[in-house]
Structure 1
């Protein structure tokens, strides 16, 4: 049986509006444009202060859209009865004027009310960074690493009014490597999501996209990451803390407090299988190989850290110019 060939860029019929903000979404927008789809409108978060000078900075999605000379709107809200009702009304009007067949959403950062979900003729498609229904919610990449999942992936989903509860359209799995951080896994998933959304749009254009309900079993929620979670809790298992170091890299990072109150950031760590001796937080030893800290179970070996006011460095570099922490109890 012969397979349907994807439409050539010149033959694209779908008009694809796009809503997204960070680099994860920008990768998808570039792919949609490269595939030849007409993107009449892009929604993204308002410019934010960033950098040492705290100058207003455009989101990665806005930068891509501006370079492609696509109209960009940046409402602070989309609810017609909300705090930013006037901006929301303008956004609704812009979406209607764009005459988009479908709205692709990726890490946008604003909740889409039903009044927006029903505007495009074919609804709204979301690029979600997990294999639904596992890890619905705000931080699926980080929570998958933290939980020790063996794999994650991308789900292309038909959006509805619920929190990542819509019908699944396409999905593709990706193994989580033992060395993956949130940063490296993010980059892999961004590329996977970009490829999958183009595949989905191609199928949608051919009328071959088949939605299916999410399974009722296996639902988990990926709560938003809080800065409060960055402090390592030594009474927890070393395996969990090692995963948290990876899951919270690059943001919000992980850290511990010295007895004198100094805060040390952690750049890399691993769990040791050696039995632990002593109370949680006790530094068993500090060698060029790492800083070994007793945990609720097991020992966490920290291999990269950053002293207050310093730069991230290996433990060997720390020992060349800093005090040996052996015997101290960290908090």
Structure 2
């Protein structure tokens, strides 16, 4: 294969994608690659002022003088023409958020490859990091995949594993995988250039789907085990956050830990409160809440909440409950 710099088009939007783009920019300095264009989703309104905000990928591209393109999709002939004119050898996609039609996948000479945050074929789809945590997986990783018209169904080019720690949140795991994604992408490109990669088809018999997250999934059912609830809290931190109901309304739970104990108290009942946290009965064991957030308030340590205006709701004997339950 040619040793001249690869002409690369990059497509991505959030921080996870920006890490892969940064890895390519670092290699571009060494004349390995030539980034001829970056695709990212259109600027979106955000915050209380609803001002248009540039994606992390756009900010990084502009800071490095890389042309940025932001089509709504690739349905317009003009968008397809502009991509073709970039004359890319390869297109790299990481958390772009826009489905690419076959004509786009076929435009670069070497096609399109994807940086996916799981060990495919496990956790195809939109939320692989969160789903791995919520399912109790002990390992995940990065798969560099040749894209086809299916949803994360293309042939695998390279994998790199990452252990899931017992205290990982989706935020901490995301950050490690973002770095690993950039490193694995660079290695895969080197091997592709050297002709050292043999594509491996996915075995769909071992596949499962990482559905897009909804805020409603954050509601804790105290009849589940403490282990299940802990995974739910960690898997949904920092977004969309686990939550429960109390007399003050919806209370978010940002951090907790499993406590192995037996009690005849009803699930959702507060057993005790201390500087270590708020101990709550579950269907099996107890969950000690260590960080929380009341409606309209800020995230805080449980010990700080015990000194705040809602302290009366966090006393032994009080209960948390789901939206369709009455307070015990």
TM-score (norm 1): 0.91
Q: Which of 108, 115, 118 matches 1:127?
A: 115
Find the counterpart in structure 2 of residue 271 from structure 1.
258
Matches of 1:154 and 1:49, distance apart in 2 = 31
Give the C-alpha shift of residue 290 in structure 1. Answer: 1.3
Matched, 1:320 2:318: no
Q: CA deviation at 1:291?
A: 1.1
Distance 1:60 1:66 in 2: 10
Spell out the pairing of 1:32-51 with structure 2 (5 A cutoff).
Answer: 32-36=24-28, 37-51=33-47
Instruction: State the match for 1:112 in structure 2.
Output: 100
For residue 217 of structure 1, give the secondary structure of its aligned residue in structure 2.
Answer: helix
Q: Is the 8 A contact 1:73 1:91 kept in 2?
A: no
Q: Please report how far the alpha carbon of residue 325 of structure 1 lies from its aligned counterpart in structure 2 after TM superposition.
A: 2.7
Aligned-partner Cα distance in 2 for 1:276–1:215: 45
Partner of 2:66: 70
Contact kept? 1:281, 1:295, Cα under 8 Å = yes
The residue number in structure 2 matching 1:215 is: 203
Indicate yes or no: 2:288 matched with 1:309: no
Following the alignment from structure 2 to structure 1, what is the Cα–Cα distance between the partners of residues 178 and 283? 35
CA deviations on 1:174-204 (whole Å, 9 max, x unpaired) are 1001111111111100110001111111112
Tell me if structure 1 keeps the 8 A contact 2:248–2:295: no
Q: 1:13 and 1:126 mapped to 2: Cα distance?
A: 20
Map of 1:204 onto structure 2: 192
Task: String of CA shifts for 1:252-310, please: whole Å, max 9, x gaps.
Answer: 0111111x252211120011111242222111222222111112222111111122222
1-side partners of 2:53 and 2:271: how far apart? Answer: 45
Runs of 4+ residues over 4 Å off in structure 1:
none
Alignment check: 8 A CA contact 1:276 1:297 kept = no
| Alpha-carbon distance between aligned partners in 1 of 2:43 and 2:201, rounded to the nearest angstrom | 36
| C-alpha distance in structure 1 between counterparts of 2:140 and 2:4, whole Å | 31
Contact kept? 1:46, 1:76, Cα under 8 Å: yes
Of residues 138, 145, 155 in structure 1, which corresponds to 2:126?
138
Residue 12 of structure 1: CA displacement?
Answer: 4.0
C-alpha RMSD of the superposition: 1.4
The separation in 2 between residues aligned to 1:151 and 1:97, in whole angstroms, is 41
Q: Is the 8 A contact 2:102 2:148 kept in 1?
A: yes
Q: Deviations over 1:90-116 (max 9, x none)?
A: 221111000001100000001111111
